[in-house]
Amino acid sequence: MSKLRNRLNRAKEMLKKRGLGFLFNWIFSPLRKKMVIWLYKNNATADLANALCSVKQLQLEITSRCNFRCIMCDQAYRCIKGKDLNLSDFETILDKLPGITTLCPQGLGEPLLNPDFMAMLELAKKRAIYTYVNTNFGLFTENIAKELARLADSVTISFSAGTKETYELIHKGSSFEKTIKNIKMFMRAKKELGHKDPEVELKFVIMSKNINELGDFIKIADELGIRRVFIDDLIPLKEIKHLKVDNEESVKAIEKVKKIAEEKNVKINFDLRRQSLSVNKCTWPIDNVFIDVEGNVYPCCNIGVFFAEGDSREKFSFGNILKQDANEIWKGKQYHQLRKMMMRNKTPAVCKMANCLYVHSSEEK
């Protein structure tokens, strides 16, 4: 009974904060996924299986420029052409994907570098699209703080350290004092609005260089008035494979700081990718899509961002939404073949080639 009550309360909260479209998708998404898996397992036609797949969640790279060179990001090791998505193309993409309920305007760059960023958030808000913003908080003014607090629904701050020394070592090009000052500025602006939104989260990518600073990281979150932290796994690019810690060590480190988090009233969420995760658990090809700053469409963010050394990420693109009809791509042959393999628990070549750690076929275990 308590489970049902919790779910009903969660549904009410979602309806209030995110709208009917988001709530509808949240309720029916698991059922739709099960139906898609069943259809593919039973050799349904492409038209029938694809009919249940529609883009609800969009991750859109609005700039490929960044002010930092964080050691866990491709920006530090690849030659990436810096470009901003203009407002007109942003609107075109939203027009071509009318069913989206959530938007994450982030890819290889820092979203605040795009001069049209706030106008994009404003446009998304007018369309009742829930926005998740990921930012390093290195670029801030009082006006930016106020506008971001007014327009964003959720804000995640990249902050993978518990000390100044480690923070500036991991987030190259940053200033610990400046970032702390900017976060405080934003939290004040949020408070002045007089309501709970946007939700704020401090994100920590766990690795050998910072694993012993989790406790200090929790304390920083508390001092800043942030009640939620997210601990993420490291994508082991060739240049930083030696920094990856295994899941067992990560879990132990998280367990050690849970008491501190409870005392400080800070909630810990974490995502540690495990080898036992089967490929048919991935929901990206059913209702998610990643689009880069050029308009190229990718079956997931890992493929569009963490591409293999020596490769051009366009190599993995399924089409270009600025040049083609969205359905031509989304319901096309490449997507159909990808879904067919994944729903039958087989790993597509594109997932193996692009540093994708989310999916592993059971036949490879």
Q: Would you list the DSSP string of 186-237?
A: HHHHHHHHTSSPSEEEEEEE--TTTGGGHHHHHHHHHHHT--EEEEEPPP--
DSSP state of 127: T
Cis bond upstream, residue 115 (ω within 30): no
Q: For the chain, list the strands marked E by DSSP.
A: 57-60, 69-70, 102-104, 130-135, 154-158, 171-172, 199-205, 228-232, 267-271, 288-291, 296-298, 319-320
At residue 360 the predicted structure's pLDDT band, cuts being 50, 70 and 90, is very low
What's the pLDDT at 363? 42
pLDDT over 60 (residue 3)? no
What does the pLDDT average to over 112-136?
96
Angle (deg, nearest 10), helices 2-41 and 333-343:
110
Task: Give the pLDDT band (50/70/90) at residue 308.
Answer: low
Query: Residues 251-303: pLDDT tens digits?
Result: 999 999 999 999 999 999 987 765 456 777 788 898 999 999 999 999 988 88
pLDDT in tens, 179-205: 999 999 999 999 999 878 899 999 999
Q: Identify the residue whose tokens are 């049902």.
A: 4
Q: pLDDT tens digit string along 55-81?
A: 989 999 999 999 999 999 988 887 778
Cα dist from 321 to 56, 176, 336, whole Å:
16, 39, 17
Residue 110: per-residue pLDDT: 97
Residue 110 dihedral angles phi and psi, to the nearest 5°:
-90, 115
